[in-house]
Structures are given as C-alpha cells and as structure tokens.
Amino acid sequence: MLEKPSELEKALRIFKRGNSGLDLQRARIYLPVNINQTHWALVEINFATRTINYVDSMRSLNKGREILRNVKNFLEKFDGSLSFQEVIDDRVPQQSNMCDCGVFLLAAIINRIADVDSWTYSQQDMNCLLYTSPSPRDS
C-alpha cells in the first residue's frame, strides 16, 4: 500500500542522524496516502505519543487497517526500537461528495498541527477552504 516509502525513509533517516534540529520525541510526520488513485487519506506518525493515526473523510473505503499495518511494519523494519499503536479516529468529519477528499486532508493536517482535540470542520466549511482559479473567460 505504501507505494513510495522512500520519502518516509528519507525523513526518518534525517531524524535518526539527529542533525536535523528536530526533536524526535515531539516530531510528527504527515503522510498523505492516495487510495486507488481516487481518494486521499492522511496518516500521522506521532513520535511523542507513539501512535500512527489514520484520518479518512470516507471511512466507507475501509482501507485504514491495511494502511496502518503497512506503515507500522515499515517503521519497525526501519528501526526495530520503534513501537507504535495504530489508531483510526472515528470522529473525523465525513465528506458528503466524491470530490473534496484533498481539501478534507488539508483541513485534517491543519487541525492536527494546531493540536485541536476535536475536529472543528465539516463539509460546509470546504468551500471556504477551496481556492478557485479564474477561468480564461474571466480575464
């Protein structure tokens, strides 16, 4: 499921070298995951809480456990001392259409970076978060 673990591997190597200036005990990695080239979900690797969190605005796709298992296996192979708990948050706001998953993913990252304990956005907020570029007719 992790098609390009090389990017995650690069980030983890930087952390392990210790010259990145990042505190591994507080570090988080946000990993956008593309599912079947039709949907975006988020994996958050939180080193402070030793959790791998799966955030999906379309739970119905039901790929969370498989993705979490793949990320966890990768982390454990990368460094045998790493141990994480897998978490799927069922409180995540759900999209009501088939096209806003990318915006929901960005809203989830903003929510997680802000350390908000509850999910503070909904489908109604997506239009405010979208940027629509002018069409050539508008020029």
Phi, psi of 118, deg, nearest 5: -115, 160
Band the pLDDT of 1: cuts 50, 70, 90: very low
Mean predicted confidence (pLDDT) in 122-139: 62
R_g of the chain computed on alpha carbons: 16
**47-61 tens-digit pLDDT:** 889 999 999 999 866
Which percentage of the chain shows pLDDT scores above 70? 74
Mean predicted confidence (pLDDT) in 97-112: 89
**7-36 tens-digit pLDDT:** 667 767 766 665 455 566 778 889 999 998
CB proximity list for 94: less than 8 A, separation 6 or greater: 57, 58, 59, 123
Question: Residue 8: which of 53, 75, 64 has the closest Cα?
Answer: 75
* Average pLDDT across the chain, whole number: 80
Question: Residue 121: which of 94, 90, 99, 139 has the closest Cα?
Answer: 94
- Residues 70 and 73: their CA atoms lie apart, in Å, by 5
Q: Can you give the pLDDT at residue 86?
A: 94
Encoded tokens for 100: 């806003």
